[in-house]
Amino acid sequence: MSSQVYTPPSQVKVLAATSQLKGLMTIIRAKSTPRADFIFYADRIIRLLVEEGLNHLPVVDKAVETPTGIDYQGLSFQGRICGVSIMRAGEAMEQGLRECCRSVRIGKILIQRDEETHLPKLFYAKLPNDIASRYCLLLDPMLATGGSAMKAVEVLLDNNVPEDHIIFLNLIASPEGIAAFVEKFPKVSLICSV
């Protein structure tokens, strides 16, 4: 019996499997973890995901003067962002985004499975009016088959968000869901913790 190592496609970024991340994942995946601990440690992972998502935004060089009068050659983010949570689970990621990006605008999309066709169906969308001019951090903690996430991206594209301005953040992603998602949307960045 051979064990194969999964290698994700190039537009997929998996957080580095550090001891810290493995420890956090162990806590949130343990059946015995109390609810309050699950929420606390899941929020820590969400903040790591948000920070990694922010690393994928375009930057420009920027020089500033420090309080000691020395020039510092740094960077400045180019463009504006917003978050879009796929309701309801994605709403759990909103606080982590707000903790990293003060006063960020957040939209919401509700997608449910159609009872007759069993396909994802849009039930509700409330997005910032200027969403087409922003980079979108799409929030959903789990990517299983990819159906809801793909429908959410379609909604963003229908609202004129460029595909390469969408960064999808999730905690847990299945290889099958990743494959379906990146095949349909090769320009969307997908960032997951495992």
pLDDT tens, position by position, 23-32: 999 999 999 9
pLDDT tens, position by position, 88-131: 899 999 999 999 998 899 999 999 988 888 889 999 999 999 99
Over residues 4-24, the mean pLDDT reads: 88
pLDDT: which is higher, 145 or 10: 145
- Give the dihedral sign, CA 95/101/103/106: negative
Whether residue 6 has pLDDT greater than 80 = no
CATH code linked to domain 12-192:
3.40.50.2020
Domain boundaries, the chain: 12-192
Predicted pLDDT of residue 10: 84
Predicted pLDDT of residue 150: 97
Looking at every residue in the chain, the average pLDDT score rounds to 94
CA distance 169 to 1: 33
Residues 6+ apart with CB under 8 A from 4: none
Predicted pLDDT of residue 144: 93
pLDDT tens, position by position, 56-75: 999 999 999 999 999 999 99
Over residues 81-85, the mean pLDDT reads: 98
Predicted pLDDT of residue 3: 63
Predicted pLDDT of residue 115: 85
pLDDT tens, position by position, 152-182: 999 999 999 999 999 999 999 999 999 999 9
CA distance 34 to 102: 29
CA distance 130 to 160: 10
